[in-house]
Amino acid sequence: MTHFALPPEDAEVRRAVKPVICYPNDTLPEPQLALYQDAMKTAEKVSEVLVAPRDAACFHAKAGEFFRISSVDGAQVGDLNLWNANNLSERFYSGKTRALHGTHLTTGERMWSSFPTLRPMATITADTLGWYGIDEHGGSVHDVIGTRCDPYTSNLLNSNQYHHCCHSNLTRAFADETGMTLIEAEAHVHDVLNVFMCTGFSRNTGQYFMKASPVRPGDYLEFFAEIDLLGALSACPGGDCSAQHSSDTAQCHPLLIEVFQPSKAALKDWVPPQSNGYDRSHGR
């Protein structure tokens, strides 16, 4: 019998094989970043929502508008869901966004939608934490690797019935916004963009880790809405996520969502994204 648990003689050679990027992204459509940033200079605020600590709230941003998520009173991370406001089956696809851009997002990168549309939903136009980069532990901010804190995992690991997890918060906010029942709404809640959260994978065990977010009051992450959006943001019960993310004891703060509308003239050269051009009939 062959014992595959034992390393072969050429184990180090096998480990030394150079990696290949699964999805080279140099052929992705380039975002019209300069146009967006110029348009934002003269945009006017049309609405705002303050998300309470350990809670969530919904907001709307029309195609061609900007939305900005800001830290207000102290270090706080947030979990963001996005849907096509006109077709809730089209929603943010964190896994494919991660495959196309990497584990963490910043200026010029995009939040992509689910199949079959697979198109940009929102483009990041400004990130005041862009300076952070990747730290010595492999940590960075704004991740698309964590799913969201949820009551099911909390019960599995801690045998509790905690109901202010981000999953629960997003479910309640979505239900309130749409008129759905909680059971109906829960099916629409999906993996998130962890705004301001500092995360990575441990080098020795490969486990998902978090550490104190570097976010400061006044920091923000700003987006251009490529399609009509319904969004929901949860102010995580872990606060800055320096210790735990399902907690009634962590210090938590609100998050501010602002929506800005540029002039039509500023976006006269904007080309809205089309649905993915793959002909689905070929796969049947």
284 pLDDT tier (thresholds 50, 70, 90): low
- The pLDDT assigned to 128 comes to 98
Q: What is the mean pLDDT of residues 27-44?
A: 96
Query: Is the pTM for the entire model greater than 0.85?
Result: yes
Of all residues in the chain, what percent carry a pLDDT higher than 90? Answer: 93
pLDDT value at residue 5: 82
- Of the candidate ranges 74-88, 198-212, 241-255, the one whose mean pLDDT is the lowest: 241-255
pLDDT tens string 141-166: 999 999 999 999 999 999 999 999 99
The pLDDT tens digits of the residues spanning 83-103 come to: 999 999 999 999 999 999 999
User: Please, what is the average pLDDT of the chain?
Assistant: 95
Task: Provide the residue ranges of all domains of the chain, joining segments of one domain with +.
Answer: 29-271
> What is the DSSP code string of the chain?
---TTSPPTTHHHHHTPPP--SS--TTSPPP-HHHHHHHHHT-EEEEEEEEPTT-EEEEEE-TT-EEEEEE-SS---EEEEEEETTEEEEEB-HHHHHHHH-SB--TT-EEEBPTTT--EEEEEEEETTTT----TTS-EEEESS-----HHHHHHHH------SHHHHHHHHHHHHH---HHHHHTT----EEEEEEEEE-TTT--EEEE-----TT-EEEEEESS-EEEEEEE-TTTT-SS-SS-SSS----EEEEEEE--TGGGTT--PPPPP---GGGG-
pLDDT digits (tens, 9 = 90+) for 108-126: 999 999 999 999 999 999 9
**pLDDT tens-place string over residues 227-255:** 999 999 999 999 999 988 778 889 999 99
Predicted pLDDT at 244:
82
Quote the pLDDT of residue 282.
Answer: 79
